[in-house]
């Protein structure tokens, strides 16, 4: 009998080149944005700071956003989409500053979502992706002694400074609390893929 894995959940990992040289400028830009908009919008956060979604207007992040769009194009190509253009529809920063700060499970809109870790001390809260192909009422969930890519309920990703993760926006995910008393700063974003030629010049 042959095992036929019929569905796969895509996710992409990348890194900001020479992040160590860029970190101070990007972290300071994130802090300046927080000072500019001090009130958290708390869309998905249990606590902690979540900025408005208009970070795309900040020039300090322009090169980073260009990189994210390039990565989005690669992701669209690897999914064998029709020829697309990629745009960032929203971006924001999250500051987790206590051991209670976290986000609930949630999904985003558009085509792709992702995160860039700007500051992530050791034992920062992990990004947890829920397995969309597993139904927890399935009796087999109780029979797996060793979880694997077919039976794992979730994937926990350890933050690392300069790392980028991109996933389809339909994936359910959350962020766990920090296990330290320092600050974890992430830049979060949504990308939309639009078939080439469909976007009008005035849009």
| pLDDT on residue 144 | 82
| pLDDT on residue 47 | 83
Classify residue 80 as exposed, middle or buried by CB count within 10 Å of its CB (0-12, 13-18, 19+). exposed
Phi, then psi, of 142 in degrees rounded to 5: -85, -5
| pLDDT on residue 145 | 81
Q: For the chain, which ranges sit under pLDDT 70?
A: 200-203
DSSP state of 41: -
| pLDDT on residue 200 | 57
Which distant-in-sequence residues (6+ apart) come within 8 Å of 129 by Cβ?
11, 154, 155, 157, 167, 171, 172, 173
| pLDDT on residue 123 | 97
- Token digits of residue 160: 């690392």
CA pair distance 166, 158, nearest whole angstrom: 14
CA pair distance 40, 47, nearest whole angstrom: 9
| pLDDT on residue 142 | 86
- Token digits of residue 23: 């970190």
Angle made by CA atoms 63, 53, 26, in degrees to the nearest 5: 35
Of 96, 101, 146, 107, nearest to 129 by C-alpha is 107
Taking the whole predicted model, whether its pTM rises above 0.85 is answered as: yes
Q: In Å, how far are 3, 101, 159 from 156, measured between CA atoms?
A: 26, 17, 10
User: For residue range 75-120, what is the model confidence (pLDDT) as tens digits?
Assistant: 999 999 999 999 999 999 999 999 999 999 999 999 999 999 999 9
| pLDDT on residue 119 | 98
102-129 as b/e: b if 16+ CB within 10 A: bbeeeebebbbbbbbbbbbeeebbbbbb
């Amino acid at each position: 009998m042959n095992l036929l894995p019929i569905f796969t959940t895509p996710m992409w990992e990348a890194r900001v080149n020479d992040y160590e040289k860029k970190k101070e400028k990007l972290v300071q830009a994130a802090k300046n944005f927080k000072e500019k908009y001090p009130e958290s919008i708390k869309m998905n956060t249990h606590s902690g700071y979540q900025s408005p979604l208009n970070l795309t207007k900040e020039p300090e992040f322009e090169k980073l956003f260009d990189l994210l769009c390039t990565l989005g194009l690669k992701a669209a190509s690897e999914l064998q989409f029709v020829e697309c253009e990629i745009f960032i529809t929203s971006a924001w920063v999250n500051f987790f500053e206590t051991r209670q700060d976290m986000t609930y499970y949630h999904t985003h809109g558009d085509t792709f979502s992702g995160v860039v870790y700007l500051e992530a001390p050791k034992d920062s809260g992990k990004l947890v992706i829920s397995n969309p192909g597993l139904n927890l009422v399935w009796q087999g969930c109780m029979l797996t002694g060793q979880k694997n890519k077919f039976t794992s309920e979730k994937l926990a990703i350890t933050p690392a400074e300069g790392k980028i993760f991109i996933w389809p926006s339909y994936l359910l995910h959350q962020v766990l609390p920090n296990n330290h008393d320092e600050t974890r700063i992430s830049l979060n974003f949504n990308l939309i893929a639009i078939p080439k030629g469909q976007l009008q010049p005035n849009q």
